[in-house]
């Protein structure tokens, strides 16, 4: 349905998006996962024709949309990171205003306003002014705006950043319902791997403007099939302890998390013994030891040496 070929965007000569090849099939929900600055927003801005690529192409059903975006715009709903609403108007009035602006037919606009408000869980607050809403509620109205013309494809740019848990749950549930009940095609960007794990069938992992891995969740996790993820808790984490563990031959990554250390190491029978010896050598006390199932966060750590939230 939508495909990109070597999609590239440079700002002042620096590539924010670097030859990204990507596809989104009808009815799929695909995640773009990456830390802040990875190039996710720039990628979706090009896909949604808000900015022009420096080079490369975006195609809708085989036709380039870079210079002819009208077909795409009809079927696309985009929820940007920034909230764009009139604070002095009510939720209902905002939707009516944007519905008229987007030329939603008069005869169906009222019904659409009510169904989108229902979907984002704000039907009973529709008469309240947007300025009285929490950040999460404003984000939900913003999503309703993007849904007014009943788009086949919905692109959401980090829709749950910085909002209350109730709104976050509403948004996740809404995306799930749109996909399952209406067959909407979804492109979802996030740096929360749990959300992408929960909602998306296929995932592109981005870092520094490039796609560094892609596949289904289980395909991505199989990157770590030769690795163990081990969590140890010690009485005190020191730099010297981290260095000693990093010197163990099988160890690829060590991540510090309060009193815990998360270690990704090549599968081997003696890794446990090596870790115990390292802790003893540093005169630390081992309080807990746990082998863990790898997560997408671990895949990212393995590929980049950093965590998604660094
Ligand atoms: N208009 C612009 N002018 C200059 N640099 C830009 C512009 N837009 C984005 N960038 C740079 O491009 C890189 C990628 O940014 P982008 O917003 O696409 O990342 P992201 O993965 O969406 O992260 P975030 O979640 O922080 O938005 C960053 O280094 C950013 O500073």
Where does the chain have alpha helices with state H?
40-47, 70-75, 91-101, 106-119, 135-147, 165-182, 193-199, 217-221, 239-246, 271-281, 296-304
CA distance 165 to 160: 9
CATH code, residues 2-220? 3.40.50.300
Given this chain, do its domains 2-220 and 225-304 carry the same CATH topology? no
Q: Which residues lie closer than 8 Å to 289 by C-beta, 6 or more apart?
A: 230, 231, 232, 233, 272, 275
CA distance 273 to 220: 29
CA distance 310 to 308: 6
- In CATH terms, the fold of domain 225-304 is Alpha-Beta Plaits (3.30.70)
Pocket test for ligand 1, best of 41, 51, 82 (most atoms within 8 A of CB): 41
CA distance 195 to 173: 11
Mean pLDDT of 200-206: 91
* Cβ 158 under 6 angstroms from ligand 1: yes
CA 258 to chain centroid:
25
> Cβ-count burial of 130 within 10 angstroms (0-12 exposed, 13-18 middle, 19+ buried)?
buried
Mean pLDDT of 28-43: 90
Tell me, what's the ipTM? 0.93
User: Ligand 1: which atom is nearest the Cα of residue 9?
Assistant: 12
C-alpha 276 to ligand 1 mean position (Å): 43
| pLDDT over threshold 90, residue 10 | yes
C-alpha 39 to ligand 1 mean position (Å): 6
| pLDDT over threshold 60, residue 310 | no
* Cβ 42 under 6 angstroms from ligand 1: yes
C-alpha 175 to ligand 1 mean position (Å): 25
Task: Give the residue whose CA is nearest to atom 17 of ligand 1.
Answer: 41
CB of 304 closer than 8 Å to CB of 245: no
- Model pLDDT, residue 309: 66
The DSSP output letter for 130 is G
Element (H, E) at 6: strand 2-11
Task: Give the residue whose CA is nearest to atom 29 of ligand 1.
Answer: 37
Q: What confidence tens digit (pLDDT) does each residue in 54-83 have?
A: 999 999 998 888 878 888 888 899 988 887
Phi and psi of 42, rounded to 5°? -65, -40
More confident residue, 304 or 129: 129
Element (H, E) at 286: strand 286-292
Q: Which residues lie closer than 8 Å to 267 by C-beta, 6 or more apart?
A: 226, 227, 228
| pLDDT over threshold 60, residue 186 | yes
CA distance 228 to 263: 8
- Model pLDDT, residue 132: 94
Domain ranges of the chain: 2-220, 225-304
Instruction: Tell me the whole-structure pTM to 2 decimals.
Output: 0.79
C-alpha 58 to ligand 1 mean position (Å): 19
């Amino acid at each position: 349905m939508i495909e990109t070929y070597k999609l590239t965007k440079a700002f002042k000569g620096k590539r924010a998006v670097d030859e990204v090849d990507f596809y989104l099939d009808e009815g799929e929900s695909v995640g773009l996962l990456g830390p802040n600055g990875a190039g996710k927003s720039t990628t979706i801005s090009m896909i949604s024709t808000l900015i022009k690529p420096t080079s490369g192409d975006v195609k809708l059903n085989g036709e380039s949309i870079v210079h002819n975006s009208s077909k795409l715009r009809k079927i696309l709903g985009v929820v940007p990171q920034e909230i764009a609403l009139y604070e002095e108007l009510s939720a209902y009035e905002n939707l009516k205003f944007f519905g008229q602006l987007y030329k939603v037919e008069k005869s169906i606009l009222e019904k659409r306003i009510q169904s989108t408000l229902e979907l984002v869980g704000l039907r009973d607050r529709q008469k309240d002014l947007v300025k009285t809403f929490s950040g999460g509620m404003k984000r939900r109205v913003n999503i309703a705006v993007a849904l007014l013309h009943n788009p086949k494809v919905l692109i959401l740019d980090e829709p749950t950043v910085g909002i209350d848990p109730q709104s976050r749950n509403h948004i996740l549930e809404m995306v799930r319902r749109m996909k399952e009940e209406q067959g909407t095609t979804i492109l979802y960007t996030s740096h929360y791997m749990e959300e992408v794990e929960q909602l998306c069938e296929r995932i592109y992992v981005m870092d520094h403007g490039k796609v560094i891995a892609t596949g289904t969740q289980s395909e991505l996790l199989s990157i770590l099939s030769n690795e163990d993820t081990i969590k140890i808790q010690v009485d005190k984490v020191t730099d010297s302890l981290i260095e000693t563990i990093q010197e163990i031959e099988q160890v690829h990554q060590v991540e510090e998390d309060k009193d815990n250390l998360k270690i990704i190491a090549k599968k081997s029978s003696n890794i446990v013994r090596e870790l115990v010896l390292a802790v003893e050598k540093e005169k630390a006390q081992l309080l807990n030891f746990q082998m863990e199932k790898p997560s997408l966060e671990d895949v990212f750590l393995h590929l980049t040496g950093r965590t998604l939230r660094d």
